[in-house]
Chains A and B, each alone.
Chain A
Amino acid sequence: MKNIATSIVLAALAAGLCAVQAGEITGKITLKGTAPKERDITPLKEDPTCGKLHPGPVPTTRFYVVGAAGELADVVVSLEGVSGKSKGEAAAPAVMDQKTCLYVPQILAVQTGQKITVKNSDPVMHNVHAQPATTGNKEENKVQMPNSEDLNFSFAKPEEFVKFKCDVHPWMFAWVSVFDHPYFAVSKADGTFKISDVPPGKYTLKAIHRKAGAATQEIEVKDGAPTTVTLALDAK
């Protein structure tokens, strides 16, 4: 009985030690310069069915989602040189929706093996066509009727920006970055991001945006201490 109690105490201490050791990386991404003008998605507006879902002005592309002070959203931030630590199969599914004939969100990041659930909230039929380029990741093209069951996708190999598209409505596209570790995040509308449970150590942090390109920064995560990063990407 005494041995069991000792074991429980030791295990609790070890778990506590680990929890203390894991660090957190937080930060903000901004855009330097003026973002190019987004383009009107006229085919969407002209489509007899999808056009009705946008009674207001013509929707535009969403490449540069920039705040008033230059905060840049949809930037994929990740640690480089870390691999083989994917817990994707146990992770909660990442959700992507088809709303008003657009993908929401347009940028997503997942782990290898993690389920990507695609919903259809539209009153129209879509097809979800995943177009990975890496050997080992399967290209799939699935039909999704209105109010039908969610579709699920997953990828076995890491790959940057796997394109998802709808061939029925060619203006609908999104990208999913796949990592074989859990140390990544996508910047929010205010440009902030957070990567949790990072083991202490020195890393290269990479921030990549579909159009503004990439930037890296050397960082060090210390025992339990938060690490703050600020990165700026150039408008192209």
Chain B
Amino acid sequence: MLSDSAVNRARHWFAVLTAAATLGLILAGGLVTSHGVGMSVPDWPNTYGYNLFFFPISKWAGGIFYEHSHRLVASGVGLLTVILAIWLHGRAARPLLRWGGGLLSGAGLGLWGVMPGRWSDAVVVLAVGVAGLAASVVWSGGEPAPKWLRRLGILAVVAVIAQGVLGGLRVTQIRDELGIFHAALAQAFFCLMCAIALFTSPWWAKRRPADTAAARCLAPCYVTASCLILAQLVLGATMRHQHAGLAIPDFPLAYGKVWPDTDPAAVERYNQRRMEIVAVRPITGFQIELQMAHRLLATVVVAAVFFCAWQTFARLGRNNLWSVLTLGWAGLISLQVILGAVTIWSDKAADIATAHVFVGALSLALGSLICIVSIRTALDIMKVKAAFDAAREAPDQPPGPRISAAN
């Protein structure tokens, strides 16, 4: 039998795996929009009438390959998220596994008996049920995570279900706007999974970064930069889900100008001159302005992240965890700018555009983790300061545990 600490370490690595799988899911989703094949499978939750897991590989042609792969990876991430949420409940989850597994097994068998035509759905339900029952037998689970972390796990399950439904509705209702929410929620969900991975780590439980006083001053800076990245990603998702291809085909200028004309005559001219090889929607003035906003916000994001890195180096020196993290952050943002430019120069080549989405997600996630740690540090310092103030005001009180201001 594994010790609780070993099980907790395994749980942390499982959370890291779930976060990594989520990043893979964002990559798969990016490929779908980059190739413009989001509607290549017109039904949901089935795929061309088949249960998702029984769709023949021989039919994964053209855009179906990307869309169907995205759905399969999404199912995998959903499963990992549910397992993680259960695992966060520790050994207390054993009855849930036993009863849940039993119920699902019964439901699967019942479905098979009542509706033999839906045998593939029944097999999937039965397989999940049997897996739950089997897990309940060997489950040790370790000690439960704190209540707030268990709630985060449940929130992740709710989010992953909502994300799946949003993606499905985007297909069945043929609504581009839902795609924007789907993309934005994907980024938020990835940040949540990274945060859970951080919260389950031994580092989070034990270690504290040094030079916390300086870090406290930087927390607002990190939060501002991360919020700007989030806004930029939402702008990018809005652009992608207009399905109009490149609204501006040149960079750094825009239609040969610093600021392009967006009057109806100019927009008509742009559309007439565009010789598209894939089915994209006509460009609109709004889309051109949206891309200009994306470019402008990109410069603000670069400035904000580089300011964070510069301030961190100036206050904490180069041999510091914060400095390394913010340097990596600035590196990611620089790469993101290059990828954005190459996306335009390559006429939105699918692989490049997807890499742009991928690095964007990484930038936001890293920013979010830096924010979480810096905010926690700032809160710790406030507690320490409050303890000092209380001790100074009541010198006759018996001394409690001493906390160093430097830690």
Contact = CB atoms under 8 A, between A and B. Distances in A.
Interface in B356-391: none
A169 interface: yes
A167 B38 contact: yes
Contact of A36 (B40, B59, B275): B275
Interface string B259-279: 000000000110011011111
A211 interface: yes
B275 A63 contact: yes
B59 A125 contact: yes
A92 B39 CA distance: 30
B345 interface: no
A213 B268 contact: yes
Given A39-B275, A41-B277, A167 B61 contact: no
B275 A141 contact: no
Contacts of B278: 43, 170-171, 173
A125 B61 CA distance: 8
A109 to B, nearest CB: 19
Interface in B40-56: 40, 42-43, 48
Given A127-B42, A171-B278, A36 B35 contact: no
B63 interface: yes
Interface string B14-44: 0000000000000000000001111110110
A167 B39 contact: yes
A134 interface: no
B399 interface: no
Contact of B48 (A36, A124, A143): A143
Given A213-B268, A236-B272, A143 B61 contact: no
A213 B39 contact: no
B77 interface: no
Contacts of B395: none
A185 interface: no
Nearest to B49: A143
Given A163-B279, A170-B278, A143 B63 contact: no
A41 B276 CA distance: 9
Given A169-B63, A171-B277, A143 B268 contact: no
Contacts of A129: 39, 42
Interface residues of B, number: 25
Interface of A is mostly: loop
A230 interface: no
Contacts of B42: 127, 129, 141-143, 167
B64 interface: yes
Nearest to A49: B61
Contact of A43 (B38, B40, B48, B277): B277
B38, B42, B43, B281: residue with the most chain A Cβ atoms closer than 10 Å: B42
A61 B275 contact: yes
Given A124-B61, A141-B174, A168 B40 contact: yes
A223 interface: no
A213 B48 CA distance: 39
B62 interface: yes
Interface of B: 35-40, 42-43, 48, 59, 61-64, 174, 268-269, 272-273, 275-279, 281
Given A124-B62, A163-B281, A167-B42, 15 more contacts: A36-B273, A40-B277, A61-B275, A125-B61, A141-B39, A141-B42, A141-B174, A167-B36, A167-B40, A168-B62, A169-B62, A171-B278, A173-B278, A211-B275, A236-B272
19 contacts: A36-B275, A42-B277, A43-B277, A47-B61, A48-B61, A61-B276, A125-B61, A141-B39, A141-B42, A143-B43, A143-B48, A167-B37, A168-B37, A168-B40, A168-B63, A169-B62, A170-B279, A171-B278, A236-B272
